[in-house]
Every structure is written in structure tokens, then in C-alpha cells.
Structure 1
Amino acid sequence: MKLNYISISLFSFSLNVLSLSSEVYNQRNHNLTLHKATTTSRLLCECELYAPPNYDNDPEMKELMEIFNRQTSERLREYDERMQDKRQKCKEQCEKDIQKIILKDKIEKELSEKLGALQTDIRTEDIPTCVCEKSVAAKTEKVCLKCGKTMGAVAPAWGLVSGVGYVAWTQYVATTVAKAATDAGIAEGVKVGLINVAKIVTQLSKGRAKIPVIDAEKLITVGKFSDGVSLDGIFKAMDIFMLKRFDEGTYGQFSLWVQNIAKTPRIYMSKYPTEVAEVTKAFAEAKTSILTKAGNATSSLTTAITASIIAIILIVFVMIIIYLILRYRRKKKMKRKLQYMKLLKE
């Protein structure tokens, strides 16, 4: 029984192998067949060309004709609309141009009538097309305006600086002259004072004291005379100047009398008022003389400087007036030109 089952199974297996091999062979040697769609064409040569059914009664032809008519009518309608818009724009532009021409003629007529009152000969061709265009006269006027502006700005500042410098110079001159006058008065007072000192010492010593030669400049330096000079001050300065110098020897008696007078000046000055007054008078006269001379020279110089400053101020005022006049004329001229331009543009 087992052998029968085995043989049956082998037989079925061999059948399957044969069937598969036959299918593979068929697939390799199978010819493919393509299915092509057959189209039926209609040619005009196959039918009557002038037969009404081919055109009027044919539904396809009717549809084509309807589409053509509809598209053609749409295109024509769009073209008409565009042409109407263009005609309207051209008409409006022509009307505007005509209005401008009429208005321009009217304005020219009015200007020709009104410009006679202004005493000006201005024509339409003379009016500049642009305000920026400048003639030689306008450029010259601009240069004059710049010159006037520069002078009007620089000259007052220069005058102010000159005035400040003049004030400082006058103060310096006054101080210098006063110092020079004081120094001259001190020198003259010391000179007279030395003479009076010798006179007083000679009277007090009854001619026995020998008078030394004293340098006035050194005495002034020792005495530190700054504001004035007096007889008692001269005695004090001589006491300092002759300290331990003429105490002994030939001028010892003179030095002794000078020391005594310097210690008690009021007593001796009251006894010799004339000599005291001479020293004071010499100082005052010398100082007054120097001040008078310096005053005359300074006054003449001050007069010249004042005259020059006044001349500069007058020149500045004239330049400012010229600048303002030119500026006013230029503004008036530009305003008139702008009015004419505005009228012509309108």
C-alpha cells in the first residue's frame, strides 16, 4: 500500500512539472497583438461640396459658425469700446488745448493793456521760461549784494575791535604818561631837595659841615619815592643812604645833622617852611609840565583816531543802505517775474 501511494504522488508531481514547462514555453513563443483604434475620416471630396446638408444642416458646422460669430462680435464690441475711449480722451485734450490757447490770448491782451501803466516794455518772449536762468546783470547784482553783505558784516566787527583797541590804548597811554610825569616830578623834587638839604645843614652847622656829593638817582632808589616827594622824606632817604658811610671822617658832621633831622622831622620842617614848599612846588610843576605836553600830543592823536572811526562808521552805513536798496529792488523784480510766470501758466 505504501508503494502505491508513493507512485501516485510521483506521478502527480511529474504532471505538474510538465504543465509548468509547457506554460513557460508558451509565454516565450507568444506573439503580442496590439489593438489599434480605427478612425473614420470624412473628406469633402467624398460628399457633395455645395449640398446644403453639408453646411447649413450639419450640427458640427452650425456649432462652429455660432462660435465664430460670437467671438467675432465680442472682438468688434471691444474694439468699439476702445475706440470710444480714445475718441473721448482726444476730444477732452483738444478742448483743453483750445481753452489754453483762448486763455493765453486773453491774458496777453490784458497784459498788453496793463503793462503800459507800469512803464515797462515786457513782451511774452522777454519773460524767462525758468526762474533759474540768470543774466549778466543778475549775476552782477548778486556780486554787489555779496560785497555789501560782506562789508556790512565785517566792517562793524572791525570797528568794534578798533574801538576796543582804542580804549585799551588810551588807558595804556594815560597810565604811562602819569607814571612818566610822576617820575619827572620826583626827580625834580629830589634835585631841589638836595639843594635845600645842603642849605639847611649849612645854616645849622654854621658852615662847619662839609657837604658831600650825593647821586640823586641812587637816593630815589633808596627812598622808594613812588607817588610824590617831600623834604622830610629826602632827609630820611639820605639817612638810610649814608648809614655807616659818612659817620666818621670828613662828612661826619653832615651825617650827624642829617640823622638828627630825620629822627625829628616835624621840628625842623616847621622852622623851614619855604624849603619844604620849594620841594613840593618843584615836584608839582615838573609833573604838570609833563602831563600838559603829553595831553596835547594825545589830544591831537585822539582827534585823528576819532575822525577815522567816524569815517569808517559812515562808510559802513552807506554800504548797508546800498545793500538794502539792492536787496529790495531784487525782491521786487523777482516777485514781478513770478507773477508773470504764474499768469502765463494759468
Structure 2
Amino acid sequence: MESRSSTASSSAASPPESSLRTPLSLVETQCVLCGAAQAEAVATGRDFEYDTCPNRFRFVRCAACGHLYLSPRPRVADLGLIYPANYYAFASGGNPLVARLRRVWEGGKIRLYRELVGEGPRRILDVGCGNGRLLGLLRDFGCPDWELVGIDRDADAAAACRAQGFEAHAGRVEDFDADGRGFDAVIMLQLIEHVEDPVAICRRVHGLLRPGGRFVVETPNLAGIDYRLFRRSWWGHYHFPRHWNLFSTPSLRRMLEDAGFEVEPAEYLISTSAWTISLHNWLLDHGWPGPLVRFFHYQNPLLLALFVALDWTRARLGLETSNQRVIARRREG
């Protein structure tokens, strides 16, 4: 299960009150990995999940290096328009059973972080901390001596974390001043695909880490059955227009290595929401009745069970899914 991108509106056929009927102003972009301007369109679609604007968007593939990115895309100044108030990072509630199961499953993931950073006083930074869910898991299931810090460019999200007793900063990680105190681990879950310049972020994270520190990245992967089936328009991880850069495992590795990291082999993760949102988007776009569209909600426990089993089996067999985790170690020299 994705810990951050697991979301869709309960019914994209019923847009939120904040939905815009005036198209957004868009900006043309070039490949952030290699700087090339030439690219070809590979997917087009709209904001199926929140219907924040009437624009059609497209993902393009760089002609030089093959990287996928959104172009044209919304302006940075319009982020508040494409992330509505009910966006998942700040939302609460939902299916109680799914919430309990997700908490148990995510709590188990904290064992990975314990192995990475060890016991005792360690500093951990959650980039894109949202409403503090990961910070809460680290506090509840991690080591009591860990010093937990969050950063989010949304001031309300940072305030929500501080209300829970965490140190949290509002702003961009590229501008974050750690006062000379490095981190033993920086965690970025389902965020790097949202940002304007992932290369700059990777370089800044390298500077924030102590020698030997680890950078944990989870992000969509341009692979898996769901990607192949729905890649023309409806794939859930396109997340039009909020995902701006999408990575294959090789392109993610290359970016991290160029930023000064030693990169461990990728691990492929369960990607339930990509399946349910992809099906939801396909049905919506083909005019299926509202009740059927609403059935394919990301918190439908029957669908979650089905796709958990499918992706778990693929991952156990060493096959790629559409969700990946990469651990990178700060390289010295």
C-alpha cells in the first residue's frame, strides 16, 4: 500500500465546491534530468480524481534520456488550486477497517527504519510530512531516543504536526536550514513525483545527511500490469495534474547517483491505489454509471484485498510493481 498517494475523491463525478471552471494557465517545461527540450506525448488525461480544473494534461517522454514528465504543467503559484482542501495529506476519516489495517501494515515498515538508523539518539527528517502520519508511526513504533523532524511546504500541514508535539517546518526542503545539525535518515514517501525540481531536492538531501546517512524514497514506478493496461490515459499514478515527474527504477537510480548517493537495489511494493484509481478513471472516462464508478474507491476493502494479493505475489516473485522503494546512502568524496 502506498503511504501517501493512496487517494481519490469518493466520486470524481461530483466535483468539489472549489472546482475551477476556468482553465489553469500552464507552462511548458523541459526534462529536469538532462535539460533536453525535445519530447513526445505518451499519455493525456484530466483531473479525474478531484476535477479541480477543466484542462487536459499530457505526460511526455524526453527524446534524449527517456524521462517522463508533465508538460505543459500548472504554475507553482497555482499549487493551492490543484491541491483542494480535502486532499488526502490533510484529510481524516475514511473506512475505519482500512485505516486500522493500514496502520498495522505501516507500523511494520518502521522495522526497516530501525535497521537503517539503529537504536539510540538519531535524527530523522520526514520531507512532505503532511498531517504527521509517518511521524506518528515513527514515534509509536520506533526508538524513543529518535529526534523526529518534519517539513512540508503547506503551512497548515506543518501546524498540524506541531499540534501533535513534533518539530515541523513550513517551506521547501531546498531552502531548509538545519542549523548545522545533520540527519541520520531523510524519508520521502510519495513526494518526489510531485515536485518541480527533483534533482535539486536530491542534492539538498545529500547536504542534509550526516556521513553514511540514508535517503529513503518511495515513488511510483513506470512498470507493472496496471501501468501497461492504463498507461494511455487512466493510470492512477499519473494523478493529473499533481504528478510532475515519473521515474523508472533506472532513471531514479541515475538521478540519485548523480546527486552523490550509493544506491541499493530497488524493492517493489504493493500498489493498491494505482489499481483502484486506474479502474475508477477508466470507468468515469467511458461514461459508466455513477454507482459503479463509486464502487472503485481507493478504500473499498474488497478491491484492496484483491490488489494487495496480486501485487504481493508479483513482488515475492521478484517482478516489478508500479510502486518502488529505493534506499540511497550518502557517498563521501
TM-score class, shorter-chain normalisation, is under 0.3
> Which protein has the bigger strand share?
2
More helix by share: 1
